Structure formats: C-alpha cells, structure tokens
C-alpha cells in the first residue's frame, strides 16, 4: 500500500513521510517546493514536483505509484498573511483540495487523512477545546481549512470517501536533524533567529489572565504528530470506524514565558525577553483535549517541552553548519 503525501517536502509533511516509511508503509511525495525543500524528502522516496492544482499530474502520480490513500498536508499555512492574500489562500487550500479529491475519485482512491488546523475554532471562549467546540475561524486560512473538512464530508456522502481530519495546534521540534521548521511566522524559529542574530526575543503581552501573564497554547512535537497520521492511515486501511475530525492537543498547554525559559536553558544563552503590547485578537489561552485521538489513534504527548526545544535547536544549529 502506498500513500501519496501532498506537501511531503515541507516541515510537517517530511516527518509524516519518515513515519510512514518507519512503519513499513510506502510513500510518494507531491510538492511544488513553494515552501518545502527537496532535500527534506527521504532518500529513496519517489518525489513528484508539481502543484495540487494540476489534476493531470496528480492522476499520473496515483497511477504510476499505485497509490491507495492520500495524506493531504499541502497548503498555504500562514494565517496572518491569509488576511492580505485571501484569494491565494482559497485557491491553494480549497480549490487545491477539490482538485485532489477529483483526481482521487477518477482513480478510485477512497481514503484520505487531511491536515486541518486549530484555526477552524478561531478564538474559542472555553478552557478546553473539544471537537464539538463551535467553529468560528477568524482568518481566510482558518475558513479554508474548515471548507476543506466540508469537502471531505460531502465527498464522503456522495462517493463513499473514507476520511478524517487532524486539527493541529502549534507544531514544534524535530525528529531528525535534517528537517526543521523554516516558517518566518512560528514562535520557535522567531526566537532562535533572534538569538542567532544577537537580538532579544519578544513576548507580545504579559498581562493576560494566565498564571504568568503570557499566552498559553498547545505545543506538540512534530514526531508525535507524524505518528498520529500513520495511525489514522492504518485505521482507514483496515476499514475501522474513525471520527471525522480529531484534535491533537495536550490538555494543559504551555505559556510563552515558559517556552522562553526553556529556550534559555537548552541553548545556554541567558536572556530576559522584551515585552511588547498584546497583538489584537490574541486570546489568553487555547488548549485542546486530545482524548478522542488518544482513544482511536494512540495519540500521546511523548516529548517534554525540553525535548521539543532541544530537538528544534539542534536542527537549527545543524542547518547553520557548512556541508
């Protein structure tokens, strides 16, 4: 059995490909390299360079590699930028998903694991987000992910597509030194780049109603996330019952100040973060229950905060070394 991983040359997708291979499942990658890197794809894994907007390319990849299922990670993932580029966001995340589903239907591929997002919830006013928490996306990105879930749902009704959506929160760390988070918008890369450049990392707001005054979020190790994809793929392969969506969350969360302290310990670079004003619309706390995923997908937080920071820092330092 071979799984097509869209976006498999990206930070998350490349970890998913490695997890599939480690579990004895075949994988083929489709990626346009707009944000991914070909050297992130494990050696020996078939790689097809192209866009998920190209239905003919997807059909050829499915045929040539005997694809039986899809893990759909590709997409435009920058929530803040999506406000400025809504049409691009919808083209990549909604039209792209529709084209992919059409190619799957044409080639008789009937199972998919979809990379969704906590952004479908917007800024929920609850202590613990569950899969039933109302959906109120606050950006075109979040809206596009919710529409993606609807597309899977409707194709399930119309054509018997077997599917599940994994709603990520904040993905960090690295399971292998050669694959790292290169996003210019995520917290860990922002903090590391500031330290490497001799600048002081910044906290946006320290007067929230949380134990230390800073935002509390779920942070998940990318290796744990990748294993959840494999478990979902195996469940679909086996024809077992599966929920339409799962939160991948910790149940308790970590504050930004706690992350800063862990970074200082791991890197050995002592610093006191500067404090900037709150960002508009930034909620004090977003933490999710992972109970459903634990029940069905073996989901667990296998890595401590220190593990997350250390693995990410080691990958960042490795990227700085001459080859």
Q: In this predicted structure, what is the pLDDT of residue 253? A: 93
Contact residues for 136 (Cβ-Cβ < 8 A; gap 6+) = 121, 122, 123, 124
Q: Are 286 and 118 contacting, i.e. CB atoms less than 8 angstroms apart?
A: yes
Q: How far apart are CA 103 and CA 109, in angstroms?
A: 8
Which alpha helices (H) appear in the chain, and where do they start and end? 11-22, 55-64, 79-82, 86-90, 96-106, 140-159, 187-196, 222-238, 256-267, 291-297, 305-320
Alpha carbon 35 to its chain centroid, in Å, reads 14
Q: In this predicted structure, what is the pLDDT of residue 323? A: 40
Helix (H, G, I), strand (E, B) or coil at 75: coil
Helix (H, G, I), strand (E, B) or coil at 172: strand
Sheet holding 245-247, edge to edge: 47-49, 26-31, 2-6, 67-72, 111-117, 162-168, 245-247
In this prediction the pTM is: 0.95
Q: How far apart are CA 96 and CA 56, in angstroms?
A: 13
Strand segments (E) across the chain: 2-6, 26-31, 47-49, 67-72, 111-117, 162-168, 170-172, 202-204, 216-217, 219-221, 245-247, 254-255, 274-276, 285-286
Catalytic positions, written as ranges: 141
Q: What is the pLDDT along the chain (323 residues), one digit of tens a residue?
A: 899 999 999 999 999 999 999 999 999 999 999 999 999 999 999 999 999 999 999 999 999 999 999 999 999 998 889 999 999 999 999 999 999 999 999 999 999 999 999 999 998 989 899 999 999 999 999 999 999 999 999 999 999 999 999 999 899 999 999 999 999 889 999 999 999 999 999 999 999 999 999 999 999 999 999 999 999 999 999 999 999 999 999 999 999 999 999 999 999 999 999 999 998 777 888 999 999 999 999 999 999 999 999 999 999 998 755 44
Domain layout of the chain by residue ranges: 2-171+219-247, 172-217+250-320
Q: Is 184 exposed, middle or buried (0-12, 13-18, 19+ CB in 10 A)?
A: exposed
Q: Are 213 and 206 contacting, i.e. CB atoms less than 8 angstroms apart?
A: yes
Q: In this predicted structure, what is the pLDDT of residue 93? A: 98
Q: Which two tokens stand for residue 257?
A: 């100040």
Q: Which two tokens stand for residue 249?
A: 């969350």
Q: How far apart are CA 132 and CA 147, in angstroms?
A: 16
Q: What is the CA radius of gyration of the chain?
A: 19
Q: In this predicted structure, what is the pLDDT of residue 80? A: 86
Q: What is the CATH class of 2-171+219-247? A: alpha beta
Q: Which CATH architecture has domain 172-217+250-320?
A: Alpha-Beta Complex (3.90)
Q: How far apart are CA 103 and CA 86, in angstroms?
A: 25
Fold equal for 2-171+219-247 and 172-217+250-320: no
């Amino acid at each position: 059995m071979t799984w097509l991983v869209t976006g498999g040359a990206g930070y998350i997708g490349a970890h998913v490909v490695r997890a599939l291979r480690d579990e004895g499942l075949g994988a083929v990658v489709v990626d346009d390299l707009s944000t991914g890197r070909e050297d992130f794809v494990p050696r020996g894994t078939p790689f097809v360079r192209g866009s998920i907007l190209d239905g003919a390319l997807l059909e050829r990849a499915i045929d040539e590699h005997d694809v039986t299922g899809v893990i759909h990670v590709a997409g435009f993932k920058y929530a803040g930028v999506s406000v400025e580029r809504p049409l691009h966001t919808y083209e990549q995340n909604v039209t792209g998903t529709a084209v992919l589903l059409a190619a799957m239907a044409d080639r008789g591929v009937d199972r998919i694991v979809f990379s969704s997002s906590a952004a479908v919830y917007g800024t929920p006013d609850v202590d613990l987000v569950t899969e039933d928490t109302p959906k109120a996306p606050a950006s075109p990105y979040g809206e596009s992910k919710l529409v993606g879930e609807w597309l899977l749902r409707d194709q399930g009704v119309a054509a018997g597509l077997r599917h599940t959506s994994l709603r990520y929160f904040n993905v960090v760390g690295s399971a292998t030194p050669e694959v790292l988070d290169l996003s210019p918008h995520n917290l860990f890369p922002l903090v590391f780049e500031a330290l490497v450049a001799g600048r002081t990392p910044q906290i946006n707001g320290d007067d929230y109603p949380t134990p230390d005054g800073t935002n509390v979020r779920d942070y998940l190790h990318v290796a744990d996330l990748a294993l959840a994809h494999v478990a979902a793929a195996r469940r679909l392969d086996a024809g077992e019952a599966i929920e339409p969506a799962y939160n991948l969350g910790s149940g308790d969360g970590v504050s930004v100040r706690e992350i800063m302290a862990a970074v200082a310990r791991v890197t050995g670079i002592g610093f006191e973060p500067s404090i900037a004003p709150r960002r508009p619309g930034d909620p004090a706390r977003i933490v999710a229950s992972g109970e459903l995923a634990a029940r069905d997908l073996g989901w667990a937080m296998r890595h401590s905060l220190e593990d997350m920071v250390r693995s990410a820092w080691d990958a960042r330092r490795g990227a700085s070394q001459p080859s």
